Structure 1
Amino acid sequence: MKWVILDRDGVINHDSPNHIKSVAEWHALPGSIEAIARLCQAGFRVFIATNQAGIGRSLFTHDALLAMFDYLQRRVAEMGGRIDGIEFAPEHPDHATEMRKPNPGMLKDLARRLGQPLDGVWFIGDSPGDVHAALNAGAQPVLVRTGNGAATEAALDDALKARVPCFDDLAAAARALISRSTVTASA
């Protein structure tokens, strides 16, 4: 099975230091919805793993978050794609569980539910927490320079820079992953 895990804020949609609290505030990054659809059409199952501390901070409700997820699902479906599952950590960072990135809980939970190993599975994110969650789970961290990604890339030490591929945006990462899987499949 080919699968990929994406962070949400800063990767699929614009991020905000004030949190994205409603569908009205949720705006897709250019090319991100199409990139998800292309991944699906290339045979990848797409999952999301996202921290949503705005719930723990009482800035928005579970219902508001689910409405944003539903909106995202509809947008992806309109392009011929699908998001197969969404994991989210709603807790306040001061009360983090194993599920909140940089902890690997969300990624490990997806792997357990799918009965699939994380070896070689790309986790595409934009923050240090995304990189470390992938490393802690045994997945392949991948950065996009959207959201907090450019700053995260600049802060990586040399050892991590050698291990973490960086792309301008989700569309570029998706093209690379699709190309890599095509080469691997034909080898």
Structure 2
Amino acid sequence: MLFFNGKADYFALIGKSNINPLFFYSSFILFECREIMPAGIYPSVFGENVMRKILTLCFLLWQANFAWAESIKESAEQGNALAQAKLASLYLLGREGFDKDEQKAAEWMEKAANQGVVDAQVIMGAMYDRGLGVTGDRDKATRWYEKAAAQGHGTSLAILGKNEAAQGSVQFNYQAMRLSAARSIPTEYAKKFLTTK
């Protein structure tokens, strides 16, 4: 079992690792119990049994997440558009044991986008705008945003300057908004895909 020298170790690793946080959390619980239990109480039979149950629960949750990730990969390989977007998100964020790989993320996201998944189309626009996992190409980015806008996607309409504000008298820098959106969209939309059932 992995133990840490302090809370800082735990929080530093949890933010950088692609391993499920439950593993780290269970180790953190053990670390905390070692510090807060009065001398002579831990390790006691009661303390060890409680910790064993907590670790077992954490391990079972980790296994369930691993199985979930594998089922997503299987469904994506069979052509399920939402599963392709979720798999791309796992690669983009480096979650559930998948190493962060922007090129694989772009490949899978493009498959989902080609099947008409609106948020995947927006992510592809942002990825082409930034050159994230693909060669930067503003024209391809615009085409992806236009596909999403054709389905009524509000952010895409705004990025393209086709929303109501663009037609009115409001002065707005759509170029700056597009660049800002391209920085935040892939990560935020990927997180959204992973919480979608």
Could you state the TM-score of these two structures normalised by the residue count of structure 1?
0.28
- Computing the radius of gyration from Cα coordinates, the structure with the larger value is 2
Pick 1 or 2: higher relative contact order, CA cutoff 8 A, min separation 6. Answer: 1
Could you state the TM-score of these two structures normalised by the residue count of structure 2?
0.27
Please identify which structure carries the higher helix content.
Answer: 2
